[in-house]
Structure 1
Amino acid sequence: MNLSILLLLIISHLICDFIFQSQYILNMRFSKSFKDSLIGNAIHGLTHFCTMLLILIIYISIYKSSKLNYIYYFEILFCIAFLHSIIDEIKTFIVKLKPSFESSIFIFITDQLIHISIIVMLTSDLNISNISNLLISIINNYPYNIRMLDRWLIVGIIFLSCTWGTGVFIRKYIQAINLKLYRKLIDKKLVIVKSVKETDIGSPNGGFTIGILERIFILLVMAIGQPSMVGFVLTAKSIARFKKMDDSNFAEYFIIGTFISFILAISGGIIIKTLQVIPVIK
């Protein structure tokens, strides 16, 4: 297994699932129309294939990896994208049966684990022993067997997971809490409409974008060894949301989201800081 290619494909997966996937594609994927959902999942799968292919081409051109079997990896990328579309179509079918599952944290985590597992399995020639041998090799030789490129790719995975990935996770978690009492009504295809005051309407995805920026800041200050600066983010958020804190529901969701965001971002920052002291090989 080429560890660099595995890490690159995981990065590609995170980019396509959390950054490139627009609300329009999501609406198509979970449309009531079978045709629309099929097209939406196919487009999403094609996006994964094109992104993986582009990243692999860049990797080959930079490192001039003439030893790679191009046809083999092209087939691998096609299989990953095809299986991704199939799994997403199954997920769409499940959500259509039980609409409340669309905001399920369990479904979200399981879906991501399956996709990443497929990437690992296919890049390991579907051989469990190859994966176990790689893990044993890493453990036995730690910390002397990591390349500079691989270290930066791991940092990239942590960055994407702690910023966009965490943002999607928090959004789904808050939705799951908010709709917990209404699951039966949702599964019966009853629409719940929540009135929104004009003064409550902010910029589209404003909170999501702010969350990404705060986690980028936390990752940076943890990476440079200045964890005390994390308090600046909490102070800034508290001041910005001070007036809304009178709403107990908002305050609870704000605190829950903030703690999840901080815990995952600080954890990611600790890992990045640890990677900095690991010796590298060329």
Structure 2
Amino acid sequence: MVLFTKLLLAHLIGDFMLQPVKWVIHKESNKARSKYLYLHVLIHFALYLLVLWDFRLWKIAVVLTLSHLLIDLAKLFSDPWFKNKTIPFFVDQFLHILALYFCAFYTELPEHFTSFIENLNWSLVLAVVFVTFPSAIIMGKLMEPMSGQINTDHKSLPNAGKYIGIIERLFVLVFILIGRWEAIGLLITAKSVFRFNDLKESNSRKLTEYILIGTLVSFGLAILAGLWYTNYL
């Protein structure tokens, strides 16, 4: 695990700290002809050697450098196919991390993967999954009869409410798992402060009640998931 941690550190430094925006733009424009692409890859090679600090492991550095080059090239050429640019970004990062994982555990890959699956806390995975999109859909169904009575005369980001709800429920679940119930109150207070201007400007009792009900239901679903995980397993 130490080896994987070192390699991941090198990757994060190389991809996010030592890659200026100018390089990214140049790579997107020139793709395989970009000089910054190869400079970026060489920086990764140097970082891998630095964190490994053992020249006997040079093959790992070479393999990861070549894989980084190929993955970056694949991203650069496939990027125009996607309207949502976050998709190729996250796929690119996932493939990089997967390559790090394979190189870190190549001597015991089947055993390590089997152990990971066997020791995975499936109940925790279920709780986390439940408070994300399933809870968002449940929220939508519960709030649907009331949403038609709310007049919204302000613009908001697409699906912003759904993602805010998912994030807040994840926070609530984490607070319950670590036993910090008081932090949930702070989260409710923070959300109320941010919502204050919207409610003040709209001066709508229906909107205030709608937001309050939605917040309580959202927090309630997360609390139920947390209680189920901590008390009934």
Which TM-score applies when normalising by structure 2? 0.49
Which one has more relative contact order, counting CA pairs under 8 Å at least 6 apart? Answer: 1
